[in-house]
Amino acid sequence: MQPTLFHIPGLGLPIKGYGLMMMIGFLTGIYLAARRASRVKANPDLILNGGFLALIFGVLGARIFFVIHHWEKNFATQENIFQAAILGITKGGLEFYGGLIGAMGAVMLYLYLKGVSVRLYADIISPSVMWGLAITRLGCFLNGCCWGGVCDHAWAVRFPHGSPAQYQQWEDRKITLPAELLIQGNERRWQPLPADLAEISPEVEHGPRLAQEKAQEALDKAVAGGANEKEIAGLRRKVELARKRVDMNAKAYTALRTTKQWYGLTPTELGDLTTSKRFAALPVHPAQVYAFVNAMLLSILLAIVCRYRKRHGVVFLLMVSIYPISRIILETVRIDNALDTGGLTISQGVSVGMLVAAALGWIWLFRQPLRSPKAIPFIPPPDPSVADGAPAPA
């Protein structure tokens, strides 16, 4: 588990493992889809444009789905609901099915308006959807979310202190923690000290204050030296920005500093507590790894079918037929979703609905011609940089 991979030097901004893996999965998936489009004489530019729409509406759909699903638990009692629901995305909270619905709807509408074969391009994109999901599930493993139930298998994993699995097990009274590893969070409820707080380096914790001191020193020096008003105004803006970062930093690390002062702990001693295996979560199913293997195998299968298929549309329908079945099975291993949808998890409920839609889709597809009438080979426009009759540049 590695929620934060590193901080940008000088700025202290965290680079999250989940976000990085999601972006890698998205970019490599688009690249593979564009190559696949070129091989079947489709327009790779439509893949790139559709990918841009998928990124925007996929993240938007995934967030909306999460907010609706967890409204009562996570958002209804927030002081600033808009900030928590919309701007709080950096703290996590995306659900795949919401992203899939949002991205699919946007991309298919775009393809329809472009007057091209939706069936053809849906086939081209489908393997990359599963590819992107597979890579993103590695981000889930780094983040510690989407965890499985307690087990004693040889391949079980123990997530460290501060992980969602440990937090849930602590709430369920399956494990206990020392007082030094508990803080008062929202609504003054006790909770395990987040691991990313305990692992903050002195540079990140105190960097904003040092930056403010340097900015103030530069301003004082400029004023004393008789600098012009424009230069002084710029330095004052830097001081004000640095002050705001100090305030944000103080708010973010108040609980950490309080814990250190109350128990007289040095950063090293606190770090030793959080990394101790005594206080890690109980062994659980690596559900994220299961999901990675599942999505990667499905991506490979879809890519093979896409190369040899006779009928346009079968690759997409295979994806929306096989994935829901595997997701229903995977949900029996995961315990992070409640059985709040007719005795099923929300993902199982959506999977059942998707299977019904897929069945109707198969009926419709086999009433269509093998090849879509709109699947016209794409001919790249001539290079305007090459003059008529002149040889192309080497």
Point out the domain boundary residue: 256, 279, 302.
Answer: 279
The pLDDT value recorded for residue 354 is 94
Residue 293 gets the label, from left (phi > 0), alpha (psi -120 to 50) or beta, of alpha
The pLDDT value recorded for residue 111 is 93
The pLDDT value recorded for residue 113 is 93
The amino acid at residue 267 is P
Q: What is the pLDDT of residues 68-99, one digit of tens each?
A: 777 666 665 566 555 555 555 555 577 888 88
The pLDDT value recorded for residue 394 is 41
Which residues of the chain register pLDDT less than 70? Answer: 7, 9-13, 71-92, 185-188, 195-206, 252-253, 255, 383-394
Residue 180 counted as domain residue: yes
Both 14 and 146 in one domain: the answer is yes
CA separation, residue 307 to residues 2, 300, 313 (Å): 37, 11, 12
What's the CA gap between 155 and 151, in Å, rounded? 9
Residue 313 counted as domain residue: yes
Both 240 and 298 in one domain: the answer is no
Alpha-helical (H) ranges within 253-374 are 254-263, 267-275, 287-308, 314-331, 346-365
The SS3 assignment for 375 reads coil
Both 337 and 226 in one domain: the answer is no
Residue 51 counted as domain residue: yes
CA separation, residue 145 to residues 27, 77, 226, 320, 377 (Å): 22, 23, 56, 24, 43
Point out the domain boundary residue: 250, 279, 308.
Answer: 279
The pLDDT value recorded for residue 393 is 46
Both 275 and 299 in one domain: the answer is no
How many domains, the chain?
A: 2
Residue 160 counted as domain residue: no
Answer yes or no: are the C-beta atoms of 98 and 65 closer than 8 Å: yes
Both 347 and 297 in one domain: the answer is yes
Point out the domain boundary residue: 248, 279, 310.
Answer: 279
Both 56 and 147 in one domain: the answer is yes
Residue 241 counted as domain residue: yes
Both 74 and 109 in one domain: the answer is yes
Residue 163 counted as domain residue: no
Residue 293 counted as domain residue: yes
The amino acid at residue 254 is T
Residue 110 counted as domain residue: yes
Both 134 and 37 in one domain: the answer is yes
Domain that holds residue 295: 4-155+286-365
Both 361 and 273 in one domain: the answer is no
- Number of C-beta neighbours around residue 241 at 10 A: 13
Both 197 and 128 in one domain: the answer is no
Q: What is the pLDDT of residues 302-355, one digit of tens each?
A: 999 999 999 999 999 999 999 999 999 999 999 888 777 788 888 999 999 999
The pLDDT value recorded for residue 164 is 87
Both 9 and 147 in one domain: the answer is yes
- Number of C-beta neighbours around residue 27 at 10 A: 14
Both 291 and 144 in one domain: the answer is yes
From the list 137, 128, 129, 99, the residue with the least C-alpha distance to 21 is: 137
Element (H, E) at 43: none
